[in-house]
Structure 1
Amino acid sequence: MGDHPTPQLGITFLPWWPPERLLSVATAADRAGLGEFWLWEDCFKQAGASTAGAVLARTDRVRVGVGLFPAPLRNPALLAMEIAGLDRMFPGRFLGAVGHGVQDWMRQVGAKAASPVTLLREYLTAVRSLLDGDTVTVDGRYVHLDAVALDHPPTGRATLFAGAGGPKSLALCAELADGTLVSGFRPPSTTREVRELADRVRSAAGLDPAHEIITSVPVATGPDAAERMERERLAWEAEPADGISVIGTADEIADGLRRFVEAGATSIAVQPTRDEPDPEGLAAFLGAEVAPLLR
């Protein structure tokens, strides 16, 4: 792997799976020694803060992330309260991430913004300031706060990630967040482009160059892995392309994931297929057999 640091390896609990399965998969990931456990706040399947809190309370060491909290769906003061509370109860273990939200879903709940980029800029700026313990007054296009301050801000710097797709939004993530999430069924070249953009943006702004890149990678193992992954690709309407998913043995999966690390990913969030027959077993397999090959 040359000069590339050892990445965090995690697994995602998919919102198509029933909530009562959550803690079983989370504890399997924790026991397996995986570095991260990711959740999605998807309408109208799974909320982020409640599930993250349950996982943090049941596990001992794994970092728990929500990617992504939809900015239009949550008042920034509310999200800052959620992040601050989880960060204080479980220091250094909660990773909150914000995005535009799926626009059709935002329309369904009456929260669709005419300018998602403007909303995300105002939102990330306000949440970061609140988490830093500031008293925030702002009267923006979307964010309106009048002398708001958290009674119990984080005692250290709470992690605030972001994720998006377009270049303007990705530049915003690089400027205002601690890390950027890259969605699944994207080739390693996309991770490289996001890494290079983040480096340019942060250098031009005189910011600390440290910026995490968390890449979601669809993964399947077992005798029917190829068939399951093809069904998953079709469900996501993703165009076929080299490297957008990884299947096979531990060695083959590690080789595939290493391409994303070499492209600049600091964390790999393994995205199982929604018909994965044994999520707990997959977590154990990743921890015992794949993670050592990435070190």
Structure 2
Amino acid sequence: MTGLGAVFRPQLPPERLRGVARAADRAGLEELWLWEDCFLESGIAAASAALAWTERLKVGVGLLPVPLRNVALTSMEAATMHRLFPDRVVLGVGHGVQEWMGQVGARVESPMTLLREYVTATRALLRGEKVSAQGRYVRLDEVALDWPPPVVAPVFAGASGPRSLRLTGEVADGTILDAAVPPEGVRRARELIAEGRETAGRTGHHPVTVYLHTATGHTAEARLRSELERAGQSGTPGLGVAGDAAEIARAVRRLAEAGADTVVLQPTADEPDPEGFVRFTAEAVGPLV
């Protein structure tokens, strides 16, 4: 069965999150996803608030930029959230937008090396291990969490290029793909992830979460077209969907058939009714997928 979620865009002010999260929870939405984009909103602070305001909603953060965050701090925050809200947290990490990382003096020479070291250390810390590491970027001296999650928490990683996708298969517990990936791109991503898992000798299922540009309502087509143009993605066939619940559900199913375990509907930055969008996702699209 395909999981279904929606994004709370950080272009909205933080004070709008409470209403959107509660609307999603009441409507029965499975997952609400947040972003930690510079210089908009904190992913951890926003996720913690959304979880506290709701009863059953699962909240994901995709992505936390690893050059910006010490690995021990992220692991402490992740462990705390998993203990406070068991089975309701999904955290993803990624390279971060390199321009933004440069703006804050955190850009690294090898994002791939950093992500490998970071995910490896984070997973070990969340397993309750005492970790020492002297990597190129991640350096820990007998660090262990006093309050690791009682159940091992998964660490997802975002990726787009072939090398990063193979890396997520090697070291992460799941992969997050952004909305620039059409169904054929999901199929290719699955192949690359599988190559990484084979290299690492890993078995079992590796979940993939995919964002989907989505617009509904009487201005849907124009808003989606503008969104894709702003993102420089208007020339990619099969990207995004504008229309009613049936049309959006068909787009979700196409991504699921290509290998997505969870599809997260990403509204346009100018979505006029964010609360209505999460209700629409849960109540109108959900039953069709």
TM-score range, shorter chain: over 0.9
Report what 1:163 is aligned to. 158
| In 1: Cα distance, 2:80 partner to 2:40 partner | 23
* Preserved contact between residue 212 and residue 263 of structure 2 (Cα < 8 Å): yes
Q: Is the CA contact (8 Å cut-off) linking 1:184 and 1:271 kept in structure 2?
A: yes
| Pairing 1:279–2:279 present | no
Of residues 215, 229, 233 in structure 2, which corresponds to 1:234? 229
| Greater CA drift, 122-131 or 26-35 | 26-35
Amino acid of the residue matched to residue 220 of structure 1? Answer: A
Matches within 5 A, 1:226-265: 226-265=221-260
Aligned ranges 1:131-142 → 2 under 5 Å = 131-142=126-137
What code does the residue aligned with 2:97 have? V
Q: Which amino acid aligns with 2:27?
A: A
Q: What per-residue deviation string (whole Å, max 9, x for no partner) do you get for residues 38-57 of structure 1?
A: 00001100111100000010
Residues 89-129 of structure 1, C-alpha deviation per residue, up to 9 Å, x if partnerless?
Answer: 10111111010000011011111000000000111111111
Distance in 2 (alpha carbons) for counterparts of 1:185 and 1:232: 11
* Distance in 2, Cα, partners of 1:230 & 1:281: 21
What does 1:1-295 align with in structure 2 at a 5 Å threshold?
A: 6-294=1-289
Q: How many angstroms apart in 1 are the aligned matches of 2:185 and 2:59?
A: 24
Deviations 1:113-150 (A, max 9, x none): 00000000111111111001010111111011111000
- Distance, in Å, in 1 between the alignment partners of 2:114 and 2:169 is 16
Give the Cα separation in 1 of the matches to 2:43 and 2:283. Answer: 28
TM-score using structure 2 length: 0.98
The residue type equivalent to 2:74 in the other structure is L
Q: Is the 8 A contact 2:174 2:208 kept in 1?
A: yes
- Deviation at 1:204? 4.1
For this pair of structures, how many residues does the alignment match?
A: 289
Cα distance between partner residues in 1 of 2:169 and 2:18: 32
Q: Distance in 2 between matches of 1:23 and 1:194?
A: 34
Assess if the C-alpha contact under 8 Å between 2:123 and 2:154 holds in 1.
no
Question: TM-score, normalised to structure 1's length?
Answer: 0.96
Tell me, in whole angstroms, the C-alpha distance in 2 between the residues paired with 1:54 and 1:33. Answer: 18
In structure 2, how many angstroms separate the alpha carbons of the residues matched to 1:208 and 1:132? 18
Looking at structure 1, the residues matched to 160 and 242 of structure 2 have their Cα atoms a distance apart, in angstroms, of: 25
User: Match for residue 3 of structure 1?
Assistant: none
1:84–1:152 contact (8 Å) kept in structure 2: yes
Change over 3 Å in CA distance of 1:46–1:234 after alignment to 2: same
Q: Is the 8 A contact 2:4 2:262 kept in 1?
A: yes
Residue 199 of structure 1 contacts residue 209 of structure 1 at CA under 8 Å; is this kept in 2? Answer: no
Identity %: 52
- Structure 2 gaps of 5+ residues are none
Report if the CA contact (8 A) 2:91-2:155 is conserved. yes
Runs of 4+ in 1 over 3 A off after TM superposition: none
